[in-house]
Amino acid sequence: MTSINDESLSPRGTKAKGETIHWLAGLSATLRSGAVFILLAALLLGFTAAEPAFANIGNLMSILQAVAVVAILGAGVTVTLAVGGFDLSIGAVAASSVMAASYAMIVWGLDAVTTVPLVLAFGALVGLVNALLIVRLRVPDLLATLSMMFLLSGLQLIPTAGRSISAGLILPDGTTATGAYDPAFLLIGRASLFGVIPVSVVLMILVAIALFVLTEHTRIGRLLFATGGNEVATRLAGASTERLKVLAYVISGSLASLGGIVIAARVGRGDVSSGGSLLMDAVAAALIGFAVLGKRRPNVLGAIVGAVFVGVLLNGLTMLNAPYYTQDFVKGAVLVGALALTYGLGRNNS
Amino acid sequence: MPLLQIDALSRSFGPTRALSGATLTIDAGEIVALMGANGAGKSTLVKILSGVLPAGSGTIALKQQPYAPRTPAEAAAAGVVTVHQSTDLVGAPGLSVADTLLLTRFAARGQPFFVSRSGIRRQARAILDAAGFDLPLDRDFADLSAADRQLVAIARALANKAELLILDEPTASLSIEESRRLFDILKRLRDGGLAILYISHRTADLEAIADRALVMRGGVIAGAFRRPIDFSAAIETMIGRKLQSARPDIRIADGTPVFEMRGARLLPDSAPFDLAIHTGEVVAITGVLGAGKSRLLSAIFGAGRLASGHMLLNGQAHRPETPAQAIAAGVAMAAEDRHRSSLMPANWPGSSLAATISLPHLAKWYPHGVLFGGREQREAEKAIARLRIKASGPQAPIASLSGGNQQKVVLARWEAEPSRLLLLDEPFQGVDVGARHDIIQAIRSRTDRATLIATSDPEEAYEVADRILVIDHHSLVRAAHEPSAVSQGIHA
């Protein structure tokens, strides 16, 4: 692709060559905007050829199930990127939501119907506090959400004195917790629609559609992006950029806690070490999304595709017996490649 | 033997010729004033001299040597130093005055790796003594006044053995007292053999210090004036015609004003003033950069505050705390510097022509929130036809439009919904003559609202307004119907 671009940028050339150049430039633009999809298709074909079991519907669904949480969190990060911010606390919000859900059911004995709204409210509250720090106290977004990340990572350990939460937990005061995970709650992580599509994948698709419509096709979405694009201009156009930022961080916090709910429902216990690589994976998905369709900006669809792309690659490589410890290297290579595609090669287009 | 000799210097930006054969000389030990309206080529000339832009054609000789700096550092090494209007970039918060004075030395190669506090102080003291300035060496750069920052920049230039000092509107943000101090210093430096190219609109400044005035128009030196400088002639050369109103359709509005300010102060210590504007009237406020034009408009639009006094819009108290409140009350503002204040970056959602127009009106045009239906498309098509915007269509990226067409789009944004009072801050910034004519016609064709325009260019004010007010030191000093009175006023 680089050579095509070099060719197309060449100022010399006869008229006939000019037409060829025009055609080549068009081709290279198409290739660039579709690069992620083309690579994804190539990966799917390649893995299927190497290992026919890869293309089983069951395996494909397990890929989607594995990336659902990352995709949901990535969509949330995308919204904060749209307002020109960055939410580094999502991983910690998801992890503490796992603990909060477990604590609510096992210690307080609540059922699924009360636990889910409670945990979502917790995520929204964290987003609100983030926004308060950023909008009111003018703390730079990276610092505010980084501090929130530390705060939550510590906070989730306090109620149980650092222990993981499962049925029969012995509380710090010596009593034994009597509650248990609500079977209805576990369905979120373990059930499948029509026995085929896991509920978590359905949630991912719903989040993707809702946020895609919100960010790309509504007035609010336009204003969210306007805030990130030119905050002064947006304020002078009469919009409250403060409220828009609050909205973005509340969305991101709520989605992170939704991710936490999915994890809790899958593992069925409140593990203190859950959600370790969630932040980085979600951020990577959002950034890979910049390259999708050649958008060169945060976009929800891109974040979802980015998450799926990484999931397909990891699943396929695992099937081909690639060792587990190469996973981070693969993710990093994909991210570097996507960013090079977005910024380095894409720049020639403008 | 002139110090600097410029011969037939030209420079184009695409089809626009910013400089078309400018020829001038500057001698050592003189202060030369450079005057010119917006777009006359002053800033292009300065950018070429200071190494920011390469010349197109023509020759420059400095001390009989060919001079073609490729970077500001090369220009400074050759002895040409420019002190810009905005002095924020001279230093940085957290650096002391002494650090700032030595910044270029820190950056130079071949300097010792380790620096000591006392060494810095000693060298900085030597620089200040050589320039004859008295500045607090340990003060943080962020705490310095604009005037002191300017002195830091000048002292640093002198320490780097400047032979030609270029000053771009140096008094724009200075008080009268500070300006006077600066003039004394400049005269002393001139007597020491320094050549100074002084760019300014303020004739009072030029009268005080210039030995010679050069007037630019259309990319060439259109006139040269020796002391005593005839400023009326210089201004007529600058704007290219006699100083008189070109308005055949001047409207004198009477009755109840739609907007009033009473006893308004922009700063706690500036003089209070009154202002009244009627529906159907186009009023221009003119004054030099930093005189308070933008501050005044921002206060009316809720993006800033009055220090004291009150405002009435349509007979009711007008106290907007946010632009949103001002817009709701019927005030619209196209702020200065459209890239910073109005446009989205390229490739970003909302960076199309149609979306640029619709941004403030989204809630009204799409009450259900979903961007469905072609309302913004239709509004953009109307605007393109009415303002003769040259663009491929409503979805054209705003960045693909020329400056004049971008400005038309910004105007179209605020004309898309009716307003009582339209505020335009420097609406002709980076706008070519043809587009300027279209914009003026568009502004004057509307009689259903009042329009208040801020511009630092008196020529633009004459062209567009029924009535011109002069602002200086954050207060309206004169309201004039007679253009000649304005020219006296702005340069008083």
Q: Does residue B81 sit within a domain?
A: yes
B360 to chain A: closest CA residue: A237
* Bridge partner list, A197: A193
Q: Which two tokens stand for residue B28?
A: 């050592």
Distance CA B407, CA B429 (A): 8
Span of B190-199, B266-275, B433-442, B480-489 with lowest mean pLDDT: B480-489
Contact criterion met (CB below 8 Å) for B311 and B259: yes
DSSP B386-426: HTT--SS-TTSBGGGS-HHHHHHHHHHHHHSS--SEEEEES
Q: Which pLDDT score, from 0 to 100, does residue B176 have? A: 67
Query: Residues B27, B32, B36, CA angle at the centre, nearest 5°?
Result: 135
Judged by phi (left if over 0) then psi (alpha if -120 to 50, else beta), residue B240 lies in: left
Contact criterion met (CB below 8 Å) for B53 and B44: yes
Q: Which of A230, A292, A347 is the mutation pick for testing B, counting most B CBs within 10 A?
A: A230
Q: Which pLDDT score, from 0 to 100, does residue B172 have? A: 65
Contact criterion met (CB below 8 Å) for B437 and B348: no
- In order of A153, B258, B272, B285, the CA distances from B264 in angstroms are 53, 17, 5, 15
Instruction: Show which of B239, B271, B289 is a domain's final residue.
Output: B239
Q: Return the CATH number at B199.
A: 3.40.50.300
Say yes or no: B226 and B267 in one domain. no
CA distance A222 to chain B (A): 7
- In order of B277, B309, B362, the CA distances from B262 in angstroms are 12, 6, 34
Find the largest Cα–Cα distance for chain A.
86
Confidence tier at A273 by pLDDT (50, 70, 90) = confident
Say yes or no: B17 and B102 in one domain. yes
Give how many domains chain B has, as a whole number.
Answer: 2
CA distance B413 to chain A (A): 9
Q: Which residue range forms the structural domain that includes residue B409?
A: 259-490
Q: Does B371 touch chain A (CB under 8 A)?
A: yes
Q: Does A297 touch chain B (CB under 8 A)?
A: yes
pLDDT of A223 strictly over 90: yes
Distance CA A9, CA A344 (A): 14
Confidence tier at B479 by pLDDT (50, 70, 90) = low
Q: Does B101 touch chain A (CB under 8 A)?
A: no
Task: Tell me if A240 and B359 make a contact (CB, 8 A cut-off).
Answer: no
Q: Does residue B252 sit within a domain?
A: no
pLDDT digits (tens, 9 = 90+) for B425-437: 988 877 766 677 8
Say yes or no: B200 and B317 in one domain. no
pLDDT of B397 strictly over 50: yes
Q: Does residue B112 sit within a domain?
A: yes
Q: Which pLDDT score, from 0 to 100, does residue B484 have? A: 44
ipTM of predicted assembly, 2 dp: 0.81
Interface of A with B in 226-255 (CB under 8 A): 226, 228-230, 232-240
pLDDT of B189 strictly over 50: yes
Say yes or no: B217 and B162 in one domain. yes
Q: Which pLDDT score, from 0 to 100, does residue A10 have? A: 38
Say yes or no: B474 and B344 in one domain. yes
Count of C-beta atoms within a 10 Å radius of residue B357: 26
Domains detected in chain A: 36-349 (1.10.3470)
Q: Can you tell me whether residue B18 is helix, strand or coil? A: strand
Contact criterion met (CB below 8 Å) for B35 and B217: no
Say yes or no: B180 and B275 in one domain. no
Say yes or no: B473 and B420 in one domain. yes
b/e burial code for range B65-87 (CB count within 10 A of at least 16 → b): eebebeeeeebbebbbbbbbbeb
Say yes or no: B218 and B317 in one domain. no
Burial class (CB in 10 A: 0-12, 13-18, 19+), A225: buried
> Whose CA is closest to A105, among A188, A34, A38?
A188
Distance CA A120, CA A106 (A): 18
Contact criterion met (CB below 8 Å) for A188 and A199: yes
Nearest by CB: A223 against B303, B348, B362: B362
Count of C-beta atoms within a 10 Å radius of residue B109: 4
CA distance A301 to chain B (A): 14
Nearest by CB: A238 against B323, B340, B351: B323
Q: Does residue B244 sit within a domain?
A: no
Q: Give pTM, 2 decimals.
A: 0.77
CA distance B86 to chain A (A): 20
Instruction: Show which of B188, B205, B239 is a domain's final residue.
Output: B239
> Whose CA is closest to B100, among B70, B128, B131, B132?
B128
Confidence tier at A105 by pLDDT (50, 70, 90) = very high
Q: Are strands B65-66 and B57-62 parallel, antiparallel or unpaired?
A: antiparallel
pLDDT digits (tens, 9 = 90+) for A57-91: 889 999 999 999 999 999 999 999 999 999 999 99
Count of C-beta atoms within a 10 Å radius of residue B228: 7
Span of A59-63, B39-43, B244-248 with lowest mean pLDDT: B244-248
Task: Tell me if B324 and A220 make a contact (CB, 8 A cut-off).
Answer: no
Q: Give mean pLDDT, residues A270-298.
A: 86
Question: Which strand (E) or helix (H) includes residue B246?
Answer: none
Distance CA B330, CA B421 (A): 7
Q: Which of A217, A236, A343 is the mutation pick for testing B, counting most B CBs within 10 A?
A: A236
Span of A86-100, A130-144, B103-117, B434-448 with lowest mean pLDDT: B103-117
Distance CA B412, CA B357 (A): 6
Q: Does residue B200 sit within a domain?
A: yes
Distance CA B334, CA B294 (A): 11
Contact criterion met (CB below 8 Å) for B439 and B460: no
Say yes or no: B333 and B273 in one domain. yes
Instruction: State the angle between helix axes of A219-229 and A199-217 in degrees (0 to 180), rounded to the nearest 10.
Output: 70
Confidence tier at A347 by pLDDT (50, 70, 90) = low
pLDDT of A224 strictly over 60: yes
Q: Which pLDDT score, from 0 to 100, does residue A79 have? A: 96
Q: Which pLDDT score, from 0 to 100, does residue B382 have? A: 93
Nearest by CB: B359 against A218, A221, A226: A226
Confidence tier at A119 by pLDDT (50, 70, 90) = very high
- In order of A200, A207, A270, B385, B396, the CA distances from A184 in angstroms are 14, 21, 17, 61, 52
- In order of A24, B102, B277, B279, B443, the CA distances from B447 in angstroms are 53, 57, 13, 7, 9
Q: Does residue B209 sit within a domain?
A: yes
Say yes or no: B99 and B170 in one domain. yes
Q: Which pLDDT score, from 0 to 100, does residue A244 have? A: 96
Which chain B residues are Cβ-neighbours of A226 within 8 angstroms?
Answer: 344, 349-350, 359
Q: Does residue B251 sit within a domain?
A: no
Which chain A residues are Cβ-neighbours of B366 within 8 angstroms?
Answer: 218-219
Confidence tier at A3 by pLDDT (50, 70, 90) = very low
Say yes or no: B48 and B181 in one domain. yes
Q: Does A290 touch chain B (CB under 8 A)?
A: no
Q: Does B324 touch chain A (CB under 8 A)?
A: yes
Task: Tell me if A237 and B360 make a contact (CB, 8 A cut-off).
Answer: yes
- In order of A219, A223, B278, B360, B384, the CA distances from B372 in angstroms are 10, 15, 38, 17, 21
Which chain B residues are Cβ-neighbours of A234 within 8 angstroms?
Answer: 359
Instruction: Show which of B239, B274, B296 is a domain's final residue.
Output: B239
Nearest by CB: B323 against A213, A222, A235: A235
Say yes or no: B347 and B270 in one domain. yes
Mean pLDDT highest for which of A10-19, B71-80, B115-124? B71-80
Q: Give mean pLDDT, residues B290-313.
A: 91
Q: A-B interface: how many C-beta pairs under 8 angstroms?
A: 88
Nearest by CB: A350 against B322, B333, B346: B346
Distance CA B315, CA A329 (A): 69
Q: Does residue B120 sit within a domain?
A: yes
CA distance A227 to chain B (A): 9
Q: Give mean pLDDT, residues B451-469.
A: 84
